[in-house]
Amino acid sequence: MVSPSFLYYVRLLRVNNDFVVIRPNLGCRALVQRCVCNIAPALARELSSWQGDVRVRCSQLLCAVAFHAEEYLTQHLQDLLPAMYTAARDEDQRVVVNVLQAGELIGLFVPVETWCKLILPAIEDGPHYGQLAVLSSLIKGTPCQYIKLHLEDICKLLAEDSICQSRKCKYQLQLVKCVRTILSKCNQEKKELGEYIFRIIVTVVALRDSQNQYLFDLSLLEDLQNAFGFLSVTSVWSEYSPNLLKKINVDPKSWTSITVERCIFESFLLESGEAFGENLQETGDILEKALDTDADPESRLKTFIALSTALECKDKIFKNATDLDAFLQKLLVQVLVPTLVWHAGLTAEAMRTMAVACVCSVLNPGVQVDLFPQAATIAPFLEKLTPLLLSLTEDSSSRSRQLAIEALTLIKLIASKRKCWDTDALLKVYPELLKRLDDPTDTVRITAVKAIAIIFKEPPSEFTKSNYNGHHEHLIDTLVTHFDDDDDDLQSHLADCLKVIAGVASKTTLLDKFNKHKKLTRNSAKLEDLFREFISIA
């Protein structure tokens, strides 16, 4: 007569391709099963022995007992599992390997409900990486058709904040190992289970210890994609990002640089791709609070950096965006403008630099994304943004000055494209750019010259009239004065800039200015060639 144990074992072998096991003979199994009640408690005690050799021998014996005792170990798991949690953290890797192998055998023979009721409460009470290592081995050993009914309970527990939000190196490695093992048992299960796994992956990668930097990353989402039948990793982000953002949107103003929610949000900004644009409302709300001027400076700085980096790929992140103009206006006016206002101190200076870098990223046009298609949408932020950028051209930070000039150039390009760049705007901007030609930093001076050339390319038709001749003369005088600069690169850009101005000023003005400056400049030969070219063009 065939025993129930044998039938159960045959059933397991049929569905579990991971094990190719030659079953021990009946006499050995029967002997171990009769004596297991005496062996198991002794094993549980000696796995924690202070003698290394004893622990190694006990771990080897545990594998043999689990192999022979089969489901007869069920009633002894309450003693064995705690000992296995400790042994899984042993310094001797031989002990660890043996214990985890025993865990796989226990997962193969013992019903899932039994060990779940023991290990899950233990993890919930106070998790450590030994418990996660044993859990991973139990899941790995259990056949798919038996474990899949319990995966949701396991994943729900592992996705709890108290479980997955750890920065401990070994703990993170074992948690990732659990995730990989669980994904190997999934076969397009319901999407709710995938959400728990997604939350675990994003959290553990966001909090990744520096020692784990090259051991795991968000490529784990590719395994999630394959296990649940998503078309791409982008689809994974699109499916689960809305709930993730709602979960972390809890008082972002109080975040510090090490706040878990901030780290997760940073990962979202940098890695979510198209999901960024699909969740603009929630993202904008978080940014408004996280970048508040009263928030933690270091937290704001890291968020600024992540945001600026993300916006460099706007063709990708805004591919499926809805109501993009409203988001960008909110970002510029409500989020970035308050930080651009001058405040004393080096911290405030760093914040201004990052804020203006974000402004440049926002205004920099994408290839496929049409920013601010309506002229009416530009006016609100132009009125508030332009004066602050002009003041930043005199900021103590050379980087802020340079970025402010670049941002003003981008504003001009957008406004000209939408036919709302007028003479008043031009007259406000160009004098401040001319002042930057005397800047002590070469990069700022060159940026200013390039900006002047762009500002006066295709100027408002009104500005070319003779009643603005005083401005034309002022421009030529200033640019020619700086043409004597020893920097060849700056001279080259000044020449290009003067060519643009020659298209604005009249021929008479050009001749007058040439006659005035040709005797005063050191580079009279170059200047003469340049003005001869201008006059022939005019």
Domain limits, the chain: 253-414, 422-537
379-392 vs 423-435: helix axis angle to the nearest 10? 20
CB 497 within 8 A of CB 453: yes
State the average pLDDT over residues 303-312: 93
Residue whose tokens read 């699109």: 238
State the average pLDDT over residues 86-112: 92
Nearest to 402 by CA among 359, 369, 363, 436: 436
What pLDDT sits at residue 20?
53
State the average pLDDT over residues 420-447: 90
CATH number assigned to the domain covering 253-414: 1.25.10.10
521 in helix, strand or coil? coil
- 183 Cβ neighbours under 8 A, 6+ residues apart: 197, 223, 224, 226, 227
Rounded to two decimals, what is the model's pTM?
0.87
State the average pLDDT over residues 49-70: 88
**Single-letter residue type at 325:** D
Mean per-residue pLDDT over the chain, rounded: 86
Which residue has better confidence, 82 or 531? Answer: 82
Distance, C-alpha 425 to centroid of its chain: 37
Nearest to 171 by CA among 219, 121, 220, 135: 135
What pLDDT sits at residue 56?
92
Q: What angle do CA 17, 22, 23 make, to 5 degrees?
A: 110
Distance, C-alpha 441 to centroid of its chain: 33
Q: How far apart are the first and last CA of the chain?
A: 110
Lowest-confidence segment of 10-19, 62-71, 348-357 by average pLDDT: 10-19
10-41 pLDDT tens trace: 334 434 444 556 777 776 777 776 777 888 88
- Tallying the residues shown for the chain, one arrives at 538
pLDDT of residue 9 exceeding 60, the answer is: no
What distances in angstroms separate CA 190 from CA 105, 229, 320, one per listed residue? 28, 10, 25
CA atoms within 13 A on the CB side of 163: 25
Q: What angle do CA 367, 369, 373 make, to 5 degrees?
A: 120
297-311 vs 280-290: helix axis angle to the nearest 10? 150
CB 485 within 8 A of CB 522: no
State the average pLDDT over residues 519-523: 63
pLDDT of residue 1 exceeding 50, the answer is: no
Tokens of 158: 């592992």
235-294 pLDDT tens trace: 999 999 999 999 999 899 999 999 999 999 999 999 998 999 999 999 999 999 999 999
pLDDT of residue 129 exceeding 60, the answer is: yes
140 in helix, strand or coil? helix
Burial of 464 (0-12, 13-18, 19+ CB in 10 A): middle
Which residue has better confidence, 322 or 172? Answer: 172
Task: Specify the DSSP element, H or E, that contains 263.
Answer: helix 260-271
Q: Residue 92, Cβ neighbours under 10 Å: how many?
A: 14
State the average pLDDT over residues 383-405: 92
State the average pLDDT over residues 212-224: 88
Radius of gyration of the chain (CA): 34
Nearest to 491 by CA among 481, 501, 500: 481
Long-range contacts of 238-241 (CB under 8 A, 24+ apart): 238/274, 238/275, 238/278, 239/191, 239/194, 239/195, 240/194, 240/195, 240/198, 240/199, 241/268, 241/272, 241/275, 241/278, 241/279
Long-range contacts of 448-453 (CB under 8 A, 24+ apart): 448/405, 449/490, 449/493, 449/494, 449/497, 450/409, 450/493, 450/497, 451/405, 451/406, 451/408, 451/409, 452/479, 452/497, 452/500, 453/493, 453/496, 453/497, 453/500
pLDDT of residue 537 exceeding 60, the answer is: no
Task: Specify the DSSP element, H or E, that contains 300.
Answer: helix 297-311
Helix extents (H) in 148-232: 151-158, 161-164, 169-185, 191-206, 220-228
CB 291 within 8 A of CB 300: yes
- 131 Cβ neighbours under 8 A, 6+ residues apart: 85, 88, 119, 122, 123
- 94 Cβ neighbours under 8 A, 6+ residues apart: 56, 59
CB 268 within 8 A of CB 260: no
CB 463 within 8 A of CB 416: no
CA atoms within 13 A on the CB side of 444: 23
